[in-house]
Structure 1
């Protein structure tokens, strides 16, 4: 049998986009995650890029409305952080507590302290750190 050339598959730039339906599901999941992390409304709004308290209240009622690209990326990072914590801690409660616990790896700050600096890049850094910790095993 002769080797056959592999036909390259062209990348579809739209396939990486988060759809409106996915964004709505992310919003509902984010509300549940923040409840599990026992965050204040102010902390939730900061993690979501300065979301207004009124908009956050609507999210908690199940009406997220229009979700822009930045917010979609923030929620995607938060889900990645959640996934990383769940991989590191088999005890769910311990993982949720870890989010707020002082950590020597962060100069005594908690993961939440790092994420609450407010930038999208802070969420990305935390996600990357968790991915690196997980892959070291």
Structure 2
């Protein structure tokens, strides 16, 4: 008679694939367009991406350099913020305007003010807030 053995049914932890350089470049181009829709200055955009303004302007003009892990994470969070706003607001313009509107959830500050704290965690905080507002995953 064969003995029974316990089988581990715990799924392996989810480990996302790293963002490729090509994906990062595509996200950068999309975020540049998003910044235009949000009516951001180059200085604000550079702060959100944690890079010097000169570098941002050069990259925006098409001479993009290599994106490190932090930049890719920032781009990913910005794209997630954009996606959440598109799901929350039927009219895209309302979502674009929401970024600069005062919000009680942020102590009367605008979402843009929160993001301009300059830390990756500021972008993550806003993305989590919007995901919760739209019902999460």
Structure 1: 4+ residue segments shifted above 4 A: 7-13
Number of aligned residue pairs: give it.
130
Task: Return the index of the structure with the highest Cα Rg.
Answer: 2
**Once the two structures are superposed, what CA deviation does each residue of 1:29-63 show, in whole Å capped at 9, x if it has no partner?**
111010010001110011002x1112111222122
Return the offset for 1:10: 6.1
Shift of 1:105: 1.2
CA distance in 2 between counterparts of 1:124 and 1:12 reads 19
Alignment of 1:1-137 (within 5 A): 16-49=17-50, 51-135=51-135
SS in 2 for 1:135: coil
- TM-score, normalised via structure 2 length: 0.87
| Distance in structure 1 (CA, Å) of the matches to 2:83 and 2:14 | 26
Give the TM-score normalised by structure 1.
Answer: 0.87
Q: Distance in 1 between matches of 2:13 and 2:120?
A: 25
> Cα RMSD between the aligned structures?
2.0
2: distance between equivalents of 1:8 and 1:45?
A: 43
Gaps of 5+ in 2: 1-6
- 1:12–1:80 Cα change, 3 Å: closer
Distance 1:53 1:107, change over 3 A: same
Q: Secondary structure at the match of 1:16?
A: coil
Q: Distance in 2 between matches of 1:85 and 1:58?
A: 28
- The answer to whether the 8 A contact 1:31-1:59 is kept is no
- How far apart are the structure 1 equivalents of 2:129 and 2:10? 33
